[in-house]
């Protein structure tokens, strides 16, 4: 009989960091459950966790490098593949300049320890300004607020959801996401506990989401108008003298500038555009300000709109003015065991601009909404080669069809990815890494965003397949080839610089390391396979601030200036043309990244890629529930089944993201059988927050009519 054993690890499929208890019989997984002894997730897991096993066993997963030939894909050896990619990148840079090679890092890179520890070396070796990542898809507004107000793009306040008495969520659906930019496994229990201790949950969203369903109050808001609501809330608090910054007042600058900046945004004036009555706005401001503790939190819906930068700033202004920043029950800063702040730039907004549309850089990257035009537009500096790491931007970035056309024109595209998906099928060379279950894991990023300080090390569950390479080994091998000087020495150093050693060093030098009673190291975490609890979030300001003089900048000039644009564009001009509907996305508990759609267990059941519409909007268009409808925007058209629901605000329609697997050449057989359509064949690459270049996915104007 095969040996049985139990393995503990952290699920790295989304931001929630759930602890898993995996029972094995030989090399077969017998059961995969939530680990009740994990001090952070306490036994919680969601249905997506099974995808870890499904990806590992997936017959569509590539296990050896592939080269695209006239006759299809051909297997090649690692040395040949790596030599070819590096040599061709270098040749293209010699002929066309450094910036002719670009890199795109997809969302899964932040969930991979190896990509976190070794990705930067590869990026530097490419020596290009054309760096893009999923960060500019939906989170730059958080980073701009953090940089300008607190001094570093990673000084991100996290809702202290376990102690708050008032949770205000805008454009966020934590019951589906289990928190985003707020790592909080077990959201159903955490929200139940909030209600049980007499706290209130208020959700502002154009859709009555799963989270809104359990809220005390749900307010429908017209897409892209959250900045108006937030400005009116701030104004009301100041006008009615409800501000109570408490000890924050000692190190906060700019209250008077904020007062002047929001003066134009009376609740009466924003009521029409937002769809929320003035008295409701005033009432919300009073409740928030008077709560024993309160926190305002906004996520994808708030960030992915033309005014996302301003909205995320005003959200933090609300937290500061009411004294809820850096106090239990408010928005707090974490103290992670491995501190990643040194790995990222402090910010750096608009140091450079894209060649074609002059969109600003942030944190050393350009916004991905500009990637296609940088490939397609001729002239000096045009992108001619691209490395995609763990990403599927054809499905995840605006106007994916245009990006797809652009990818087809590249001299060279290489991808570090286990799948031939909608993006990587355009690669000339595919470099597939090992799966999560074959690697060590430590969450470098998500401990920084977690609602409690903990630390956990996950050893590999399975040995890598013979000849397989981890992502970090691929990065190291490419880096050595791109920087061939002292190659033998580099190879020797690379053998020493494993992710495990780097994390061990980070733990020992960190705030719970050598010099503390915790004495954290990888070995100590291995002795504690469920993870170690390091306690609740604690007040840490002003010491942690990285602004000059360690002061909170409540009114950063760049954001105050942009608020004038909000007034000009949202309060002066009609934003919706007759007959148009505004398209928003939606998150689904059983989906996150597009490759999860190749797991039969995650796509089974009724079709989920449907267009949600309010019955009144359907009636005026003569449309019926279940029929196929045509959805058209400036950039494209899709056909999709219609689903009528009063959970959507009239005038708004919704499609989920990550679908659209019906393209030729994709080798994801389960996903192809549940293809759906891509919302990003409708979203517009021209629609961005001009302050940052973040894609404005929310509120794409569309027309819906009977399908063909």
Q: Which is nearer to ligand SF4, 47 or 626 (CB)?
A: 47
How many whole angstroms separate alpha carbon 551 and alpha carbon 430?
Answer: 48
Among the candidate windows 14-22, 379-387, 437-445, 472-480, which touches ligand SF4 by CB under 6 A? 14-22
Place of tokens 């009376």: 266
Rounded to the nearest 10 degrees, what angle do helices 471-482 and 487-496 cross at? 160
CB of 173 to ligand SF4, least distance (A): 13
Our finding on whether 284 is near ligand SF4 (CB under 6 A) is: no
CA distances from 106 to 350, 453, 554, 594 (A): 22, 26, 32, 11
Q: Does 644 bind ligand SF4 (CB under 6 A)?
A: no
Residue 310 CA neighbour count, 13 Å, CB half? 31
Nearer to ligand SF4, 13 or 640 (CB): 13
Tokens of 359: 């969109």
Q: Minimal distance in Å, beta carbon 15 to ligand SF4? A: 7
Applying CB under 6 A, which part among 12-20, 70-78, 392-400, 643-651 lies near ligand SF4? 12-20
Instruction: Indicate whether 48 belongs to the interface with ligand SF4 (CB under 6 A).
Output: yes
Interaction between residue 110 and ligand SF4 (CB under 6 A): no
Q: Which is nearer to ligand SF4, 193 or 505 (CB)?
A: 193
Among the candidate windows 45-53, 195-203, 474-482, 530-538, which touches ligand SF4 by CB under 6 A? 45-53
Binding flag, residue 13, ligand SF4 (CB under 6 A): yes
Among the residue ranges 11-19, 274-282, 604-612, 658-666, the one whose residues contact ligand SF4 (CB under 6 A): 11-19
Find tokens 């919706």 and name the residue: 576
Within 8 A by CB and 6+ apart from 222, the residues are 206, 273, 274, 275, 582, 649, 651, 652
Nearest C-alpha neighbor of 459 from the set 516, 503, 419? 503
Helix (H, G, I), strand (E, B) or coil at 556: coil
Location of structure tokens 């929001």: 262
3-class secondary-structure state, position 453: strand
Q: What gap in Å lies between CA 426 and CA 407, rounded to an integer?
A: 6
In whole angstroms, how close is the CB of 589 to ligand SF4 at the nearest point?
8
d(CA 115, CA 121): 10
Q: Which stretch binds ligand SF4 (CB under 6 A): 46-54, 226-234, 347-355, 379-387?
A: 46-54
Query: Which residue, 32 or 255, is less far from ligand SF4 as judged by CB?
Result: 32
The residue among 50 and 690 lying less far from ligand SF4, judged by its C-beta, is 50
Q: Which is nearer to ligand SF4, 16 or 294 (CB)?
A: 16
Are 660 and 680 spatial neighbours (Cβ–Cβ below 8 Å)? yes
18 vs 234, beta carbon nearer ligand SF4: 18
Residue whose CB is less far from ligand SF4, 187 or 294: 187
- Shortest distance, position 108 Cβ to ligand SF4, whole Å: 12
18 binds ligand SF4 per the rule CB under 6 A: yes
Q: Which of 22, 24, 29, 46 binds ligand SF4 (CB under 6 A)?
A: 46
- HEC profile of 631-669: EECCCCEEEEEEEECCCECCCEEECCCCCCCCCCCCCCH
CA distances from 84 to 103, 322, 406, 482, 572 (A): 17, 58, 22, 11, 56
Identify which of residues 93 and 173 has a Cβ nearer to ligand SF4 in the complex: 173
Residue 450 engages ligand SF4 in binding (rule: CB under 6 A) = no
Least distance to ligand SF4 from the beta carbon of 594, Å? 15
Contacts of 425 (CB under 8 A, 6+ apart): 663, 665, 666, 667
Report, in Å, the least distance between residue 20 CB and ligand SF4. 7
Determine the interface stretch with ligand SF4 among 13-21, 130-138, 321-329, 664-672 (rule: CB under 6 A): 13-21
% helix, strand, coil for the chain, step of 5: 35, 20, 45
**C-beta of 273 vs 390, nearer to ligand SF4:** 390
For position 14 contacting ligand SF4 by CB under 6 A, the verdict is: yes
For residue 458, the minimal CB distance to ligand SF4 (Å) is: 12
Q: Residue 626's CB: how many other CB atoms inside 10 A?
A: 10
Residue 545 as a binder of ligand SF4 (CB under 6 A): the answer is: no
Q: Alpha-carbon Rg of the chain, whole angstroms?
A: 25
Contact call for residue 191 and ligand SF4 (CB under 6 A):
no
Q: Does 11 bind ligand SF4 (CB under 6 A)?
A: yes
CB nearer to ligand SF4: give 180 or 304.
Answer: 180
Query: In what helix (H) or strand (E) does residue 96 lie, and over which residues does it extend?
Result: helix 78-96
Residue 587 sits at the vertex; the CA angle it makes with 583 and 589, to the nearest 5 degrees, is 155
Give residues 166-185 in contact with ligand SF4 (rule: CB under 6 A): 178, 185
Neighbours of 486 (CB within 10 A): 11
Q: Which stretch binds ligand SF4 (CB under 6 A): 43-51, 60-68, 470-478, 625-633?
A: 43-51
Pick between residue 11 and residue 403 the one whose CB is nearest to ligand SF4.
11
Interface with ligand SF4 (CB under 6 A), residue total 12
Q: What three-state secondary structure class fits 519? A: coil
Interaction of residue 16 with ligand SF4, rule CB under 6 A:
yes
- According to the binding rule CB under 6 A, does residue 45 interact with ligand SF4? yes
Summarize as ranges the residues that interact with ligand SF4 (CB under 6 A): 11, 13-14, 16-18, 45-46, 48-49, 178, 185
């Amino acid at each position: 009989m095969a040996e049985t054993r139990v393995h503990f690890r952290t699920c790295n499929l989304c931001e929630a960091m759930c602890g898993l208890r995996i029972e094995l019989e030989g090399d077969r997984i017998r059961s995969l459950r939530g680990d009740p002894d994990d001090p952070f997730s306490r036994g919680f897991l969601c249905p997506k966790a099974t995808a870890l096993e499904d990806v590992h066993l997936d017959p569509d997963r590539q296990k050896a490098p592939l080269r695209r030939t006239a006759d299809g894909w051909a297997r090649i050896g690692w040395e040949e593949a790596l030599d070819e990619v590096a040599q061709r990148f270098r040749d293209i840079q010699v002929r066309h300049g450094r910036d002719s090679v670009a890199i795109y890092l997809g969302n899964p890179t932040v969930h991979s320890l190896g990509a976190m520890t070794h990705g930067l070396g590869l990026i530097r070796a490419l020596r290009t300004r054309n760096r893009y990542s999923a960060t500019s898809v939906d989170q730059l507004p958080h980073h701009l607020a953090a940089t300008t107000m607190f001094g570093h793009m990673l000084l991100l306040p996290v809702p202290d959801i376990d102690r708050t008495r008032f949770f205000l969520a805008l454009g966020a659906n934590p019951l589906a996401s289990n928190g985003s930019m707020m790592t909080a496994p077990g959201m159903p229990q955490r929200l139940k506990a909030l209600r049980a201790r007499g706290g209130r949950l208020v959700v502002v969203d154009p859709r009555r989401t799963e989270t809104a369903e359990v809220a005390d109050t749900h307010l429908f808001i017209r897409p892209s108008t959250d900045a108006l609501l937030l400005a009116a809330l701030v104004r009301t608090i100041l006008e009615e003298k409800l501000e109570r910054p408490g000890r924050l007042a000692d190190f906060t600058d700019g209250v008077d500038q904020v007062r002047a900046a929001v003066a134009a945004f009376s609740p009466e004036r924003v009521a029409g555009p937002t769809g929320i009555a003035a008295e409701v706005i005033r009432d919300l401001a009073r409740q928030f300000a008077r709560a024993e503790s309160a926190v305002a939190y906004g996520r994808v819906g708030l960030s992915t709109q033309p005014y996302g930068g301003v909205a995320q700033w005003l959200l933090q202004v609300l937290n500061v003015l009411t004294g809820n920043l850096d106090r239990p029950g408010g928005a707090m800063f974490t103290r992670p065991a491995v501190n990643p702040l040194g790995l990222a730039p402090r910010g750096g907004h608009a140091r450079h601009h894209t060649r074609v549309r002059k969109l600003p850089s942030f944190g050393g990257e350009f916004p991905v909404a500009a990637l296609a035009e940088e490939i397609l537009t001729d002239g000096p500096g045009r992108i001619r080669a691209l490395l995609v790491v763990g990403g599927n931007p054809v499905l995840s970035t605006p106007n994916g069809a245009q990006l797809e056309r652009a990818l087809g024109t590249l001299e060279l595209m290489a991808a570090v990815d286990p799948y031939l998906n909608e993006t990587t099928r355009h690669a000339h060379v595919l470099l597939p890494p090992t799966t999560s279950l074959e690697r060590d894991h430590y969450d470098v990023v998500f401990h920084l965003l977690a609602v409690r300080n903990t630390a956990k090390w996950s050893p590999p569950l399975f040995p890598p397949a013979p000849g397989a390479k981890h992502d970090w080994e691929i990065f190291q091998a490419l880096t050595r080839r791109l920087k061939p000087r002292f190659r033998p020495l580099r190879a020797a150093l690379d053998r020493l610089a494993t992710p495990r050693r780097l994390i061990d060093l980070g733990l020992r030098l960190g705030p719970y390391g050598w010099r503390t009673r915790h004495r954290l190291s990888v070995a100590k975490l291995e002795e504690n396979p469920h993870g170690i609890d390091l306690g609740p979030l604690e007040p840490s300001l002003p010491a942690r601030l990285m602004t000059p003089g360690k002061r909170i900048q409540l009114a950063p000039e760049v954001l105050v200036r942009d608020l004038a644009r909000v007034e000009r564009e949202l309060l002066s001009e009609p934003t919706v043309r007759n007959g148009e509907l505004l398209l928003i996305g939606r998150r689904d508990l059983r989906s996150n990244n597009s490759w999860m759609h190749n797991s039969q267990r995650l796509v089974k059941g009724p079709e989920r890629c449907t267009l949600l519409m309010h019955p009144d909007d359907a009636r005026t268009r003569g449309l019926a529930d279940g029929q196929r409808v045509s959805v058209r925007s400036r950039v494209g058209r899709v056909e999709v089944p219609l689903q009528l629901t009063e959970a959507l605000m009239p005038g708004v329609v919704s499609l989920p993201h990550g679908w659209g697997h019906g393209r030729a050449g994709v080798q994801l057989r389960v996903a192809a059988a549940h293809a759906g359509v891509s919302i990003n064949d409708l979203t517009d690459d021209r629609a961005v927050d001009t302050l940052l270049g973040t894609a404005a996915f929310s509120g794409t104007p569309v027309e819906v009519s009977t399908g063909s």
